[in-house]
A and B are shown apart, each in its own frame.
Chain A
């Protein structure tokens, strides 16, 4: 099977090149046979890449250590589950995995559009296969997972212990899905530039793809945070690591794009801006892959340094920017806005401001991420930029974005009068003000946290009032009960209300971030029977008593497991365990933290050091001294709750409307069988 997989990968490249040439040629000359051949190439490439991926998985499951990739990322004792995830554990396999996602989404796009949007499809197919061909070239000529060793080792080197975590098995696939799904909107945008249909049709067609990509990117980032929190064992979830940043950049651009396309759909404006954003977002997805795989910037996530890949990726990004930029310039005369901004106080202005701020955050993060490379290029020595820089720049930007989430929905499109603004803002502002007042009276003195909590309350109040107004109106008009009216309200315009739910999720996430202002930490070296006390910022104390430590050999690792009993203000609330692991093959120590999570705070215990590890293994009672680091992290759980709500909102916004439920205006269009816009559905994407 691995041989068949390797063979399939070699066939996939010429098929993709054949398909892309024929698709472009067919589109240019109006030849349906060439385009059909191109479309079939998309299906064929998906089939072949799936076969190649299966070949890699079989190689892992069968311990085929004759392959360099398997020998370096697996061993005989590795759990089956992690052997399967070996497909994306290392650089070589992950590039095939990337190509698999891309070819799957490409095939899905061709299938979805087999009887519609035909004027776009030749160029869409051409672009999709071009990107596939690029990744296949890398997989075959630069980073081949089927490369054989000159000899067959008896066992492999094993998987990096930090990757042997369930969050790590779903974090990369989710991110890859987000990155690759964005190729579809990019392909349609390029097709619109090539075929000259430059109205908002390409946006309507790809609206769901944009949301799908955004959904996967958001969840991929959150899964990565969760992995960092549970596995890296430093007490936090985000370190502004270059690869973390690399995943954030396309998400920021995609978020800006999600909002700005609403202006194009509603007002026929910002066409050049939207084209630029879709190009920027797509290039950033490639940039994220480049950053992770070039190894040019040091990170816990990067694969080994590979300058060949770095140059190939840089070349591809340059090609993308030059070609797509040239297409935009070529079509500039036809990308003029159909309308002008009528007032600074309007929803489109708020969206534009939101876009500018998101791009400000994007460039700040990119500058901080690339700064070490830039300084190395200029001075010869790397100057790292740490979390203080990123926090200093991005916290204020985040707060302005938070405020805009509350302002946008309350302002009308086109223009809003100050009288209406005052009336609509009074109650949400009052709620925010009350929260700030209560926090000040309670003794809170951290300005950024107070501001975040106040703004969060303001935005939540706006969302609740919007839901309340909509539900009340529907209940009054339709004579429904509150619950039914609420459900029908959301069902009738999933995009608008789904978007508001996404905003609510983001508010919770921001609140969780603000909780980090109150993190508490103590560290102590203890022998069994001794205790350590930490004061929670919520006013109570935790006392943890070290009960003892045990050691065990499990599969391919040695474990040291410390047990601590916890009491809160003198009341016993249970026990917690925290571990250190030593993987036999890699000799790499790993910390497994103990986390006791509640909705308001996490008790986070790290077994920082065991003084006499051999003594513990020998069960010597006198060698059980260990060092513990104990943290209380308030509101961390809100980040995970917020991510769940954000996902729920996105799914609601994504959920398709019932077929035929959209008839509004009786007339010729309906007579001809066309589907008219649903009046309950005025917002194209996200929240209005």
Chain B
């Protein structure tokens, strides 16, 4: 009885393991569409590093000069990553066209769309950071942080825009400590 049971177990296991080879059933070997590419991962890391710089500045770990230079450096890094993503998208568009998968205008519109995306992402991200900083907006004139409800800059007196982008508030991540 035990021998029969053992043989049944062995047969079931072998059949289960061999079935893909026998029937040609396949596992995917490619990156799924919602997984980040290397360029996207670089962008993500640059954005995260920007957040750290903002947090370090807000909690007094970074001088104003260091903060500004680091922020500029990281913005450049994020831009470079975004450009790589655009290049990837353009390549993907070209490949799609050559495969006949994309429409006739696909390759031609990709770079334009990528540039627009790049500018929109950076602008949105910088706006989000300004709002995140101390919970309010950075003054466009002197770049100093202000409170969330400030209508005028506490440092130079310039009138501040009060509208906020959707991103940061929507996920409740306004705190520099967060």
Q: A37 contacts B17, CB within 8 Å?
A: yes
Q: A35 contacts B29, CB within 8 Å?
A: yes
Q: B171 contacts A3, CB within 8 Å?
A: no
Q: A266 contacts B175, CB within 8 Å?
A: no
User: A493 on the interface (CB 8 Å rule)?
Assistant: yes
User: B44 on the interface (CB 8 Å rule)?
Assistant: yes
User: A19 on the interface (CB 8 Å rule)?
Assistant: yes
User: B138 on the interface (CB 8 Å rule)?
Assistant: no
User: A662 on the interface (CB 8 Å rule)?
Assistant: yes
| Neighbour of A3 across the interface among B6, B53, B117, B178, CB < 8 A | B6
Chain A: how many interface residues by the 8 Å CB criterion? 92
| Neighbour of B175 across the interface among A8, A15, A478, CB < 8 A | A478
User: B42 on the interface (CB 8 Å rule)?
Assistant: yes
Asked if A33 meets B20 with Cβ closer than 8 Å, knowing A267-B49, A470-B175, the reply is: yes
* Interface secondary structure of B, over-half rule: helix
Q: B41 contacts A474, CB within 8 Å?
A: no
Closest to A667 in B: B121
Asked if A118 meets B175 with Cβ closer than 8 Å, knowing A15-B13, A201-B36, A476-B135, the reply is: no
Q: A473 contacts B173, CB within 8 Å?
A: no
Nearest-Cβ distance from residue A397 to partner chain B, whole angstroms: 27
Q: A118 — which chain B residues lie within 8 A by C-beta?
A: 27-32
Closest to A122 in B: B29
Interface of chain A residues 238 through 252 with chain B (CB within 8 A): none
Bitwise interface map of B from 102 to 132 toward A, beta carbon under 8 Å scored 1, else 0:
0000000000000001001100110010001
Q: B121 contacts A36, CB within 8 Å?
A: no
Q: B125 — which chain A residues lie within 8 A by C-beta?
A: 664-665, 667
Interface of chain A residues 434 through 474 with chain B (CB within 8 A): 466, 469-471, 473-474
Q: B13 contacts A44, CB within 8 Å?
A: yes
| Neighbour of B29 across the interface among A18, A32, A493, A679, CB < 8 A | A32
Q: B33 contacts A672, CB within 8 Å?
A: yes
**Selected interface stretch from B57-65, B93-101, B152-160:** B57-65
Q: Once bound together, how far apart are the Cα atoms of A447 and B175, in whole Å?
A: 42
| Neighbour of A420 across the interface among B29, B34, B60, CB < 8 A | B60
Bitwise interface map of B from 159 to 178 toward A, beta carbon under 8 Å scored 1, else 0:
00000011110111111111
Q: B44 contacts A667, CB within 8 Å?
A: no
Q: Once bound together, how far apart are the Cα atoms of A121 and B27, in whole Å?
A: 10
Asked if A265 meets B45 with Cβ closer than 8 Å, knowing A118-B32, A414-B70, A679-B128, the reply is: yes
Asked if A412 meets B174 with Cβ closer than 8 Å, knowing A118-B29, A664-B128, A679-B132, the reply is: no
Q: A44 contacts B177, CB within 8 Å?
A: no
30 residue pairs bridging A and B, Cβ less than 8 Å apart: A7-B9, A7-B10, A11-B10, A33-B21, A33-B25, A36-B26, A39-B27, A40-B19, A51-B9, A118-B28, A119-B30, A197-B38, A412-B61, A413-B56, A423-B60, A471-B177, A473-B59, A489-B177, A492-B178, A661-B171, A664-B168, A665-B125, A666-B120, A668-B121, A669-B40, A675-B34, A676-B44, A679-B128, A680-B175, A682-B55
Interface positions of B (Cβ within 8 A of A) = 2, 5-6, 9-10, 13-14, 16-21, 23-36, 38, 40-42, 44-45, 47-49, 51-53, 55-63, 66, 70, 117, 120-121, 124-125, 128, 132, 134-135, 148, 165-168, 170-178
